A and B are shown apart, each in its own frame.
Chain A
Amino acid sequence: MSTAVAHAHTDDHHHHEESFISKYIFSMDHKMISKQFLITGIIMGLIGMGMSIAFRLQLAYPDTSFPILEWLFGSKWAPDGKLDAGYYMALVTMHGTIMVFYVLTAGLSGTFANLLLPLQIGARDMASPFMNMLSYWFFFLSSVVLLSSLFVETGPASGGWTIYPPLSALPKAMPGSGMGMTLWLVAIILFIASSLLGGINYISTVLNMRTKGMSMTRLPLTVWALFLTAVLGLLSFPVLLGGGLLLMFDRGFGTSFYLSDIYLGSAGALEHTGGSPVLFQHLFWFLGHPEVYIIIMPALGITSEIIAVNSRKPIFGYTAMVISLLGIAFLSFIVWGHHMFITGMNPLLGAVFLVTTLIIAVPSAVKTFNYLATLWRGNIRFTNAMMFAIGLVSFFISGGLTGIFLGNATLDIQLHDTYFVVGHFHIVMGCAAIFGMLAGIYHWFPKMFGRLMNKPLGYIHFWLTFASAYLVFFPMHFIGLAGVPRRYYAFTLLPEYGQWADVNVLMTLAAILGGIAQLVFIYNFFSSIFIGKKSTENPWEANTLEWTTPVERIHGNWPGAIPTVYRWAYDYSNPAYDEDFKMQNVPDESHVVELFETNTGTAPSTKDKPETETVSFFTLIRNWFKPRTV
C-alpha cells in the first residue's frame, strides 16, 4: 500500500524534497494550512479563555486581591492584585474580539474549510493554494498585531468588541481609545483581507473543482455550510471594511463621519458636527449579524455530518437542510437592526426587523428538528465527536429560544445590554459553535494527524465542558431578567445587585472548571499527535470522500486518480445493501451509468424527460425528506 502511494505520488507531482519551511511554514498544502489555522485558533482560544477567567474573578470577588493577576498583567493594570476598571473593559473587549473573530471565525472556518472542502468534493487542493497560504499569513499577522496591543502603554482597545463610536472614534476618549484602538483596527483590516482571500478561494473551489458526479445535491452538508459561510463572509466583511476606513478617518484625519454634538464636561463642546454614531452601528451590524452565522454555520454543517455518521442513518431531510442553510444565509442579511432596537430607529423599521428576526427562527428550527429526527431510532455510536455534536444541538436550542425573547422589540427594551444578552449569545454562539468545532476536531483528527484521540479523556472533556458551560451561562439569563447590566466592572457599588453576588461566585467557579476541562483537551490533542492510537483509513465508517484518502495524508490527496462520485453522502443503513454504509465513490451496480453515460448515449434518459404529471404540494414536501441514492 504505502509503496504504491509513494509511487503514484512521485508520478503525479514531480516529487521534490520539500524543505522544512515550505512544508510546515509557508505551506501551500490545504491540509497543512488547515492545521496552521487550527493551532493558531487554539492558542488564541486559550488566551481568550484566560482573559475571561481573569475578569470573572473580578466579578465574583471584587474586593479580593489575587497576586496572580498582578503577576500576569503587571502592577499598572492590576495594582494589589485587583483589576483596574479600565483594564477590565480592555480584557472584555479583547476577549470578545479574539473569540468571535480569531477563534470562531478563522479558527473554525479556516480549519475546516481548508481541510474538508478539497477532500470532500474530490479535489487535489484549493483553487489557488498560493492565495490560501496568503490567507493564513494575513490571519497570523493580524493575530500578532491584535496581541501586540496588549503591550502598548495605554492598553488595548476597551470599547467593547463592537467598537462603537465615540469611544472608538476619539483617540483621547479614554486610554484604550488610543494606540490600542488603532492596532485593533489594523488587525481587523488584516483579518478582513485574510477572510476575503480565503472566501474567494473556497467559493471558487466548491463551484469549479468538484469531482465527476459530485453534483451540488450530493455535496456533504459540511461543504454546503462552509460554502455558504464563505459567501456570507464575502458579502459582509467588506461592509466592516468600509465602516472601519471611515472610522480611521475620524480618528486620524479630523473627519466627523460618526461624531456629532459631543459635549464633554471639562473640555466643553468638541468640534464635531454632522456625523452619526448610529451610522456606524448600522455598518457594524450589517457585518455583525451575518458574522454570528458565519460562526455557527460551519458548526451546524459539521454537526450534520457527525450526527448522520454516528447515527448510522441518512441525514433527515437533506434538501430541507440545504434550503434552511440558504434561508439562514439570506435572512441573516436583513435582521441586523435587532441589535439596535434601543439605539433608536423608526418604529416601522423596528417592526420589520422584528419580523425578519423571528422568521430566522424557522430555518433554525428546521435544522434542529432534522437533527433530532436523524437521531431518532438511530443506531447511535457515542463517539467523542458525537457527544459534542449532540451538545451543539442542545445549546442551539437553549440559545435560539432566548433569541426569540430578544427579537421582540418591546421585550428587548428591558433585556438589551443586560446579562440576558450575554447569556443568549454565549450559549447560542459561544458554546454551540465551540462544541461544533470540538466535535469536528475529534472527528477529523485522524484525517489531520493519522492518529485517534484518547476516548476516555474525550468523555471527561465533554462532560466537564458541558456542565460548566451551562453553569456559567444559564444563570446569566436570570440576573439579566432582573436587570443586571452587562459590561460593569463591579456591582458592589450598586446595592440592588448585591443579592446576585453568590450567583457571580457560582459562575466564576464554573468558568474555572471549564478552563481546567480545556487543559484536558489540550493535553489530549497534543499528546495524541505523537502517541495516539494509529488510525485506519476510515475509522468512523463514514461515506464521504476524505475517508478514501490514505492515512499518510499525501500532497495531492489521492495517490491515483481522483475518485468519481456515484451517490449522495448519506447512504447509511440502506436496506438495499448488505453493508450499513456505502461510500460516495462506490458505484451502484444497477445505476452505474446514469450520470455520465446518458449524456453521450443515444436514448435520452428518463431523467431528462419533462415532468408532466402535476405533483401535489405534499408530495413535493415528502420528496424533500426522502433519502436519495442516485
Chain B
Amino acid sequence: MSTQTISKSSTWGGGNSPFNVSYGKLMMWVFLLSDAFTFSSLLIAYGAIRYSYDSTPIEQIDALELKFAENVQEKFAPDVAETASHAATTLEHGAEHAAEHAEHFIPALRELGVFTEAQWPSPDLVFNHFPFAHGLHLPLIFVSLMTLILILSSVTMVLGVEAGQQGNQKAVSKWMLLTIIGGFMFLGCQAWEWTNFISAGARMWSNPYGPPAFAALFFGVTGFHGFHVFSGVVLNIIIYINNLKGTYAKRGHYEMVEKVGLYWHFVDLVWVFVFTFFYLI
C-alpha cells in the first residue's frame, strides 16, 4: 500500500481528466456523439418514409432474380420480353448505351408491375450493376466492394494510429497514405454508383424504379455521408502532410493521428448503418 491507490475521489476529484484523455480527444468524442444524432435523424426520416410504402413482395424479387436480363424472354410475356431483351442486347455494346438501356428496360419492368409508384423498390433490383459487367445481374456486389474498401481503410487507419503510438514516422506516412487512397477509392465508387443511378433516370425528385422518395433519400443520405468521407479524406491529407514535415515527431506524440482516426472510424461505422438501411432492408 505504499504506492498510490487510485480511489474514486481522485478519478473524479478534479485536477485531472476522469477518462484520462486530453481535451482534444474528448472533444472529438463529444462531437462524434452529436454527429451520430445528426445521422440518426436522417435515418429515422428514412425509416418513416420507407415504411409508409409497401415493400416489393419477396416472390417478385425472387422471380426476377432468377430470370433477370438474359433469361427474361422465357419468363415473361413475349411482347414485353422483346423490349427487355432488346435492352439486354444493347447493353452489351458498352457503357455509352447505359442510358438507352434504362430507357427501355425500366419501362418494361414497370409494365410487368415490378417497379410501381406505390412500392418501395428492392435494392437488389436497383443496385445490381457493376463496372464493365453490363447486363449481368449482380445485386449489391458493387456496394459490398465499396463497403469492403472503406472497412479496409479503417484497418489501415488503425495501423497508422498504432505506428503513431510507437513514434514511427515512416510507418505513419505509409498507413495514412493507404487510408487516403482507400478514402478516394470509396468516393470514386460512390461517384460511379451515383452516375449509374442518375443515368437510369433518377433525380432528387424522380425515380424510374418507383417512389421518388427512394431517390431523394438515397441522394440525401449517401450524399451527406459522402460529404463526411470527403472531409475525412481532407483531414487525413492534412495529417499526412504534417507528418511528412515532421510536425508530430517534433511534438513528441501523434495524438492528431488518433483524433482523425476516431473520426474516420466513426464515418465507417455510419456507413455500416447507411448500407444496412439503404441496401439490405
Q: Decide if B224 touches A245 in the complex (CB within 8 Å).
A: yes
Is A273 an interface position by the 8 A CB rule? yes
Expressed in whole angstroms, the minimum distance between the Cβ of B158 and any Cβ of chain A is 24
Is B123 an interface position by the 8 A CB rule? no
Interface of A is mostly: helix
CB 8 Å contact bits of B4-29 with A (1 = contact, 0 = none): 11110110111101110111101100
CA distance A210 to B17 in the complex (A): 8
Q: Decide if A599 touches B10 in the complex (CB within 8 Å).
A: yes
Is B1 an interface position by the 8 A CB rule? yes
With contacts A274-B213, A602-B2 taken as known, whether A238 is within 8 angstroms of B41 at the C-beta atoms is: yes
Is B132 an interface position by the 8 A CB rule? no
Q: Which of A212, A234, A256 makes the CB contact (< 8 A) with B30?
A: A234
Q: Decide if A243 touches B41 in the complex (CB within 8 Å).
A: yes
Chain A residues within 8 Å of B53, by CB: 274
Q: Decide if B31 touches A200 in the complex (CB within 8 Å).
A: yes
Chain B residues within 8 Å of A246, by CB: 42, 45, 220
CA distance A283 to B40 in the complex (A): 11
CA distance A605 to B220 in the complex (A): 58
CB 8 Å contact bits of A168-182 with B (1 = contact, 0 = none): 000000000000000
Is B49 an interface position by the 8 A CB rule? yes
Closest to B28 in A: A200
Q: Decide if B17 touches A207 in the complex (CB within 8 Å).
A: yes
Is B133 an interface position by the 8 A CB rule? no
CA distance A1 to B34 in the complex (A): 45
Number of interface residues of A (CB under 8 A): 61
Q: Decide if A242 touches B38 in the complex (CB within 8 Å).
A: yes
Chain B residues within 8 Å of A196, by CB: 31, 34
CB 8 Å contact bits of B33-70 with A (1 = contact, 0 = none): 11101111110110011001100000000000000000
Is B167 an interface position by the 8 A CB rule? no
Chain B residues within 8 Å of A199, by CB: 30, 34
CB 8 Å contact bits of A309-329 with B (1 = contact, 0 = none): 000000000000000000000
Q: How large is the interface on B (under 10, 10 to 19, 20 to 34, 35 or more residues)?
A: 35 or more
CA distance A243 to B217 in the complex (A): 13
Is A209 an interface position by the 8 A CB rule? yes
Q: Which of B6, B13, B27 makes the CB contact (< 8 A) with A127?
A: B27
With contacts A249-B220, A608-B7 taken as known, whether A602 is within 8 angstroms of B1 at the C-beta atoms is: yes
Chain A residues within 8 Å of B141, by CB: none
Is A255 an interface position by the 8 A CB rule? yes
CA distance A605 to B38 in the complex (A): 46
Chain B residues within 8 Å of A238, by CB: 34-35, 37-38, 41
- List which A114-157 residues lie within 8 A (CB) of chain B: 121-122, 127-128, 131
Is B205 an interface position by the 8 A CB rule? yes
With contacts A208-B23, A239-B37, A242-B42 taken as known, whether A213 is within 8 angstroms of B15 at the C-beta atoms is: yes
CA distance A603 to B5 in the complex (A): 10
Closest to B217 in A: A257
Q: Decide if B1 touches A235 in the complex (CB within 8 Å).
A: no
Chain A residues within 8 Å of B216, by CB: 249, 253, 255-257
Q: Decide if A127 touches B23 in the complex (CB within 8 Å).
A: yes
- List which A214-249 residues lie within 8 A (CB) of chain B: 214-216, 218, 234-239, 241-243, 245-246, 249
Chain A residues within 8 Å of B31, by CB: 196, 200
Is B139 an interface position by the 8 A CB rule? no
CA distance A210 to B203 in the complex (A): 52
Q: Decide if B212 touches A273 in the complex (CB within 8 Å).
A: yes
Q: Decide if B30 touches A204 in the complex (CB within 8 Å).
A: yes
- List which A379-437 residues lie within 8 A (CB) of chain B: none
Expressed in whole angstroms, the minimum distance between the Cβ of A224 and any Cβ of chain B is 13
Expressed in whole angstroms, the minimum distance between the Cβ of B233 and any Cβ of chain A is 21
CA distance A214 to B52 in the complex (A): 52
Q: Which of A205, A215, A234 makes the CB contact (< 8 A) with B33?
A: A234
CA distance A202 to B39 in the complex (A): 23
Q: Decide if B23 touches A215 in the complex (CB within 8 Å).
A: no
Is B204 an interface position by the 8 A CB rule? yes
Is A604 an interface position by the 8 A CB rule? yes
CA distance A390 to B181 in the complex (A): 62
Q: Decide if B37 touches A257 in the complex (CB within 8 Å).
A: no
Is B261 an interface position by the 8 A CB rule? no
Chain A residues within 8 Å of B49, by CB: 257, 274-276, 279
CA distance A605 to B7 in the complex (A): 10
Chain B residues within 8 Å of A213, by CB: 13-15
Chain A residues within 8 Å of B52, by CB: 274, 276
Is B211 an interface position by the 8 A CB rule? yes
Is A539 an interface position by the 8 A CB rule? no
- List which A280-306 residues lie within 8 A (CB) of chain B: 282-283, 286
Chain B residues within 8 Å of A200, by CB: 27, 30-31, 34
CA distance A218 to B13 in the complex (A): 9
Q: Which of A208, A283, A286, A564 makes the CB contact (< 8 A) with B17?
A: A208
Q: Decide if A212 touches B14 in the complex (CB within 8 Å).
A: yes
Residues of B within 8 A of A (CB): 1-2, 4-7, 9-10, 12-15, 17-19, 21-24, 26-27, 30-31, 33-35, 37-42, 44-45, 48-49, 52-53, 117, 203-205, 211-213, 216-217, 220, 224
Residues of A within 8 A of B (CB): 121-122, 127-128, 131, 196, 199-201, 203-205, 207-216, 218, 234-239, 241-243, 245-246, 249, 253-257, 273-276, 279, 282-283, 286, 564-565, 595-596, 598-600, 602-605, 607-608
A-B contact pairs, 28 of them (CB 8 A): A121-B14, A127-B23, A128-B24, A203-B30, A204-B27, A205-B23, A207-B17, A208-B17, A210-B14, A212-B14, A214-B14, A214-B15, A218-B14, A239-B41, A241-B41, A242-B38, A242-B40, A242-B41, A242-B42, A249-B204, A256-B212, A275-B213, A276-B49, A283-B41, A283-B45, A599-B4, A604-B1, A604-B5
Not counting A215-B12, A255-B212, A599-B4, a sample of 10 additional A-B residue pairs whose C-beta atoms are within 8 angstroms of each other reads A199-B34, A203-B30, A218-B14, A238-B38, A241-B41, A254-B204, A256-B212, A276-B49, A595-B13, A599-B9
